[in-house]
Amino acid sequence: MEMWAIWLIVAGILLVLEMMTMTFYLLWLCIGSLVAAVVALVAPEAYFWQVVAGCLVALVLTVFTKPLSRKFRAAKGFKDIGTELVGKQGIVVEPIEPGQYGIVKVGGDSWSATATVPIGRDEKVRVLERGSTIIEVERWEEIS
C-alpha cells in the first residue's frame, strides 16, 4: 500500500476520534497526517520528511492555538458547567460505594460520582470536586 494512503487512513481515524472527544488536539494531529500524506505524494521515499512535516504542523497548530482557545474560553459569556457544579446539591440516582461509581443528578444532568463513604439512593449530596466526567460528592448536611 502506498504511504500517502496510509497517512490518509491515519488522518481519518484521528478525525473520527476527534469527533468523539472534542478536544482539538487530535484535530491538529489529523491535519499533520494530511500534510504528511501530501509530502508522501511529492516524495514517496522520504519517510523521515513525511514524519517531520506532520509532526511539525501538529506541534505548531497545538502551540499557537492554545492561547487562542484560552482567549475564547475566557471571553465574556462562556460558561463551563463543570466549574459551576462545585457546591451544588444533587440527588443520588444509583447508590455510591467507596471505590465504585454511582450516579448523581445535579440540576438536569446526570453524572458519574464517587464518595469516600457509602451513600444510598435518593440521598441529597453536595458536589465537592469535578473531574472531566466524574464528580466527587459528600452527604448534604443542612446548616441550622
What pLDDT shows up at residue 103?
Answer: 95
Phi/psi at 89 (5° precision): -95, 145
Phi/psi at 137 (5° precision): -130, 165
Domains and their CATH numbers in the chain: 3-74 (no CATH), 81-139 (2.40.50.140)
- Taking residue 138's Cβ as centre, other Cβ atoms within 10 Å add up to 13
pLDDT band of residue 6 (cuts 50, 70, 90) is: very high
* pTM beyond 0.75, yes or no: no
